[in-house]
Structure formats: structure tokens, C-alpha cells
Structure 1
């Protein structure tokens, strides 16, 4: 039984209860990942006042977790290609749960920055690893829709966090300031997800690629048995009772250099360029919006209120993406949503009217999550199983690195030139993304992972042994 046979069996399945369970548990983990990622941004004005943070130190406070994510996305996703998807995402959940809890008890801004950096090691690995895991588990015809469902669940974190901040920040409970409870909530939630995820199966595609065909066959058969409860006409492509499996298949050996071979180079360059730029538009807004509103003259409490309403666009946009990601090819959906982010960003920067601020803020976050869902699905589709976690993790790490630098780049522009100029910079970045994806990106919607990568993947490659 080959890697291809496992892939064929997985792609011909209908959606089962096992697929839905995996989608919900991955989505719940993403919920607490995004909850934690946006904490420093949502609380930026609060923390600035509480710790009397100097202006030159504020970018480091906002960027510390993103710098941790840069390292985590490279290291932990690399481990996922060596030791398995499940072990990697169990480890990263544990890392950011522990250090987010420690951040809640930070006595000073220095320790808070350290703990945010360490939590970022786990945070950075989660999204690309979830993209990889779900893309390998789900059938090709439903892959985009169910990855988008997972992110829709995850993006509920933004408005929940916004309204919790509005509610808790003015309060004290059990001797702790309200902002500390936000960190505690994120940590405990991550721990609960860690316990629930223990029963998830390993990726059969990864097991097959690693030569562990007995395990790959057993897990795939479980999905087939579950599917037969819905479709009695479904029978396995291969019968385990008649198929003789080799005792051990040679394990694939992957080096980082494989990403720069001719068959991967275009996808690597395209995705790296994209990840460097997308951060400016996506996290530039989500992380800095309270500070943007403060620069427009709104108080801390009012900026938290506006932020909460603006963040409603995140889950709404994710829901809107559900019918789009399987109808419009992912590459063109990314291009279109990048254009609209540029338009709505400049509109948000220009306006001073409170109702228009909320309107353009919601429109921006709405479109940005159509953009986000499309690229999260897309980035896990354009590399083969043997290097998928490494390729997406390394590319995604660049976005985390840029997110760490972003406050140092955008905050000075905001303070010196105002929000309109800052969002003009964002719009230029979105325009470059349109060119990058439009010219270099392959079509992926509705195609199997193996078909998408067929022309690139050759078993005789010097860096990959089968």
C-alpha cells in the first residue's frame, strides 16, 4: 500500500463525525491561539498606563510574542515533519498555556515581555500546523470549507476578547486586575483543549509518508468504517485482509534545502514574499487599532468599546468565506480580498466619524478574514506531505518575524504622520500581494493535494528518499 493509495482513500470519503470532531478541536485550539495573539494589542493602552511603559518600550511589548512565534513556527513545524503532526501541536499547546499563565502574574513589564516571548514559541506553531493537519485529513472536495469552519470557530476569539476586555479591565476580582484575568482565561482554555485533543488521530498521510503504513491503514480504515454508516456503498480501495504490507518502509529524509530546489522554488519564493507582506495588513490593524483610536482622540474605555465592535467582523468574515473558498479559486479570493483590505483600511484611517469608524473597521476585519481563511487553506496545499509542515511553518515564521518588527515600523508612522499615511502603507503592501499571488500562485480549489504537487514531487530527488 503506497502513500498515494492512502491519499486516494482519504479523498473519496464523505465528511464523517471524525472529520467534524477534528475540525472542532482544531478550531477550539485556534480560538485560544488568536485570543492570546491579540491580547497585547487589545490591552496595549491599558498595559501602557498600568506599567507606565515608555514610548520606546511599547513596540517591544507589542512585538515580543510575535518574535517568539517566529522561532516557534520554524522549530515546531519542522518537528512535525519528523515526529508527527499530533505530537507537535500537543507540545505547542502546552507551551503557550504555561507561559500565558505566567504572564498573568507578571509584576513588571520586563517579565511580561519575557513571558509573552516564550508563549509565542507555541503560538507561532499552531496555525500552520493546524492548516497542515486538516488539509491532510479532509477530502479534497471539502478541504477548504472545513478548514474555514475551523478558523471561523477560532476567530470568535476576537470579539469575545474585545467584549471581555471592555467588561473586565475596569474591575478587580480576587485581588487581580481585570487584564490579568484575560491571560488566565486564555491559559486555562488552552489546557482544556490540550486534554481534549489527546484522542485525535495522527495524520494518515504523514504516517504513510514516514513509512508507517500499518498505522496509516488502521486510521484510514476507521474513517472508512465511520463513512460506511452514512454510505453503505463505500468500500475500501484496498482490503487489509488481502493486502500484504511491508514490515518497514524507508522513512523520508527531508532537508531544509529541498525548498529551494527547482520544483519548489517558485512556491517557496511566492509564499515567503506573501507572508512578509500580509502581516502588515492583517496584524497591523488587529494589533494597533486601540492605539489608532487613541491617536484619533478616544479614551481607553471608548477605544476598547470601538475595538470590540470592530472585531465582530472577524467571525462574520470567516463565515462569509465558507461558500466562497470552494466556489472561487483560492488564489483569486486572496487577490480580491487584499484589494478590499487596502480600500477599507484607507477609509478607516481617513474618517473621524464614530459610526464610520465602526463601519469601516467591521468591513476591514470582515474582508481580512476572508483573506486569512483563503491563505491558510492555500499555503498548506502547495507543498507535498513530506515537506508540508516545514514549508508552511518556515513561511509563516516570516510573518511572525514581521509582526514582531511591525510595531517598530508602523507605530512611528502612526505617531508622526497619522492613520491615513499608515493605512496607505498597508494598501501598498496589499497591492504587492495581489501581484505576487496573481502571477506566481497555482490553482488549488477542488484538487487533491497529490494532484496539485504532482509536477513538483519526484521520488528521485536527492533531498528526499522514499
Structure 2
């Protein structure tokens, strides 16, 4: 049972406006997420490059290379989530970025596909841990009335990562500065940016909610006062009454019955297990699909890159309304859109139609993944939030690792239509799981 002073401190945190300190945390977390997505996007770039070269990398080797980063994430995400719940969100964020820096440098100087696969595996240890930790951190800090909208807004820079990676490699591929392939320069840039991000995270405040959960009330009070002294940027309406995410002592604004833990876990595991087939594997193989259809490297990267820019404006607009929508209904809408756009991409032949179809598909993915991550993070109490989110993310990355191993041979052997049929089945199953999932905690305080 939480003590009354702790409840009071948590309520003070929830009643805060958005301050300059909140904005600083959002900006730094967003820049870190851009580095994470840039590094993850190199999988699609490598898939395109190694599928269009002559001779192309064999399917098994290519599948292992594309899967390696997700295999690393399966191992790294739960370990880093546990670390973030034990040692603090800020310490974990700094460590993750330093690890990405070293792993990316290794990928840039790798000799052959085997060494590159190993470096991607090692990089995945940290790349898989960053998103759940940063979502847990922002869920701890941000006002509940606009939590999802502010998280969406703060992570919008992440949408610049994939097009930046793709167009950087497309630009550098024919130039080969210093005799190095374009994709190697991409990893050099990612390594340098990760180092800068790690240094910037030292300026972040620790989560007061996490400090409370670890019994460090005096430090939590000092950090909260730092937030209270920070200049207000955006006022917040009163916190809405709602269900607490755990069985811990509810605050005055949080008095509805707790959601059974087993129900939460079943829903979260099911949704994260099903999502990567559409949200990771299918976009990852866009370039390979285009290569299978006869597009050359330059044209394939152009379509891949332009379609990856689709989510940017859509996500900015969506961030203004996300806290007004039921979490499950919004996610179901994204799933239906993925089904429709993926089908259109599968049957389109013209360049413009392919760009529009995949751009809208990527927009649906860009809305669905943060929604799912916020939805799951809200369901767990602060002392378990990073660990639970990271375990869910590891399950997601397990699907991401299995996806290329299954879909690359399917694409090469049976063609794009059969490959997308596998993706469509996972999306239909996702709709069924969403219908049976617990309600979300939009505009409600978390424990």
C-alpha cells in the first residue's frame, strides 16, 4: 500500500503543466528515437542493397542479416528494461546510446556479411531496449491528460530516421567517399549521433515516479520541485477520474477497480507477438519486394525512401487527437488501414501508386506502434513499467527476427502475394485480440 505522502507527490506530478523541463526531456528522447529508427532502417537499406547487387546475397544469409538486430533485441530488451527499473531510466538511456555508438562503429568497418550480421546482432541488444525505456520514462513524467499526444509529438523526429538513412545511402552509393560503400557511411553517422545523444542524456532529470517506487522520497521531492520551478509552456485541464493500472493505493483521481494482471499480460503478449509481421517485417522487405519485381537499386531506394516519409505529417496531425480516442479503437483503425494499404501495394504496378500505398501503410505503422507501446506501458505500475514494456518489446522483436527468416524465402520462392497473405493473417488475428483486450487508460493517471 502506497503511503499518503507518496500519493500526494504523485498527484502533484500529475497536476503539473507542461514545463520547459518536460519539453527538454521530450526533445532529447525524440532525438534518441530518431537514432534508433535510423539504425533499424539500415536493415531495409541492407536488404535492398544486397538484393540488387550481382550476384545477390543468398536468401538464408540475407534473412540472417535482417533478423540479427531483432534477435539481439529479444535478448537485450528485457535485460535493459530490468536495469531501467532497478538503476533508473536516465542511467539506462545513457548506457543504451553508448552501446549503439560502439555497435554501429563495428558495423561500419565490418569485413563481409558474417561480421556485419554479428555487429547487427550486438547493436540489437541496445536498439531493442531504447523504445520501451523511453516510453516508460515519458509515461512516468508527462501529464496524463495529454500523455499519448505528447509522446507522439516527442517521438515525431523518429520518423525522420528511416528516410534519412535511405536517402543518405542512396546519395552516397555512387560516390563512395574514401572508397567506402554508402551503407558504411550510414553506420558511421549513426555512431557519431548516438555518442552525442548519450552525452545529452546526462542533462535529463530522473523520473520522480521511479524514485518514489524505489523508496527514494527525498530525491523524488527534489526532482519534482525542479519541475515545479520550471517555466510553464502549456496548461493542462484537471486529471480525469479513471482506473488505476495496478492494485496499488489509488489517488483521489484514480478510484475505479484495477485491471486483473493476467488480463493485461495476455493482451499485451498477444498484441506484441502479432504486430511485427506487419509493422517490421513487411516494411523491412519493401526494397526486396521491389527488387523481385525488377526495380534497380536507385529506383527501389527512391520508392522505399519516399514512402518512408509518409508518416511525418500524418503523425503530427494525429498527435493532436490521440488522447481523445479510445486506445483500442484507434489501434484497430490502424490495423484495418494496414490491411487495405498492404493489399494495394501488393497489386500496384505504377511508381506513384506504390509510393502512395506504402506511404499510407507506413503512416498506419507509425501510429500503431507508439499507440500499442503507450497502451501497454499505462497498464503496468511504475516499479514494473520499464521491465514489462521491455518484455513486451522483446516479444515484438522475436517476431521481427522470425519474420525475415520466413518471409524472405517465401518472397523469393512464392512471390509477393503469398508473402503478404502471411502478413494479412497476422493483422486479422490482431483485430481479434484487440476486441478481447482490456480498456486503455487514456486521460487517466497511472500508478
TM-score (norm 1): 0.87
Matched, 1:380 2:364: no
Q: Which position in structure 2 is the counterpart of 1:350?
A: 347
Matched, 1:21 2:18: no
* Off by >4 Å, runs of 4+ in structure 1: 227-231
Aligned-residue CA RMSD in angstroms? 1.9
Q: Which position in structure 2 is the counterpart of 1:138?
A: 142
Deviations along 1:422-456, one digit per CA (max 9) or x if unpaired, are: 22222221121122122213221111113xxxxxx
Deviations along 1:322-358, one digit per CA (max 9) or x if unpaired, are: 1231121122111111111011111101111222111
Aligned pairs for 1:54-453 (under 5 A) are 54-227=58-231, 263-450=260-447
User: C-alpha distance in 2, partners of 1:230/1:391?
Assistant: 30
Q: Structure 1: 5+ residue runs without aligned partners?
A: 235-260, 451-466
Asked if the contact 1:158–1:314 (Cα under 8 Å) also holds between the matched residues in 2, the reply is no
Change beyond 3 A, Cα 1:124–1:396: same
Asked if the contact 1:317–1:367 (Cα under 8 Å) also holds between the matched residues in 2, the reply is no
Asked if the contact 1:84–1:202 (Cα under 8 Å) also holds between the matched residues in 2, the reply is yes
Change beyond 3 A, Cα 1:301–1:228: closer
User: C-alpha distance in 2, partners of 1:112/1:55?
Assistant: 16
Q: Which position in structure 2 is the counterpart of 1:6?
A: 9
User: C-alpha distance in 2, partners of 1:229/1:87?
Assistant: 27
Q: Which position in structure 2 is the counterpart of 1:464?
A: none
C-alpha displacement of 1:373: 2.4
Q: Structure 2: 5+ residue runs without aligned partners?
A: 239-257
Asked if the contact 2:170–2:182 (Cα under 8 Å) also holds between the matched residues in 1, the reply is no
TM-score (norm 2): 0.91
Q: Which shows bigger deviation, 359-368 or 317-326?
A: 317-326
Change beyond 3 A, Cα 1:148–1:51: farther
Aligned length: 422
Q: Which position in structure 1 is the counterpart of 2:241?
A: none
User: C-alpha distance in 2, partners of 1:444/1:183?
Assistant: 39
User: C-alpha distance in 1, partners of 2:302/2:148?
Assistant: 33
User: C-alpha distance in 2, partners of 1:106/1:301?
Assistant: 24
- Counterpart of 1:323 in 2: which secondary structure? coil
Q: Which shows bigger deviation, 104-113 or 1-10?
A: 1-10
Asked if the contact 1:342–1:428 (Cα under 8 Å) also holds between the matched residues in 2, the reply is no
C-alpha displacement of 1:153: 1.1
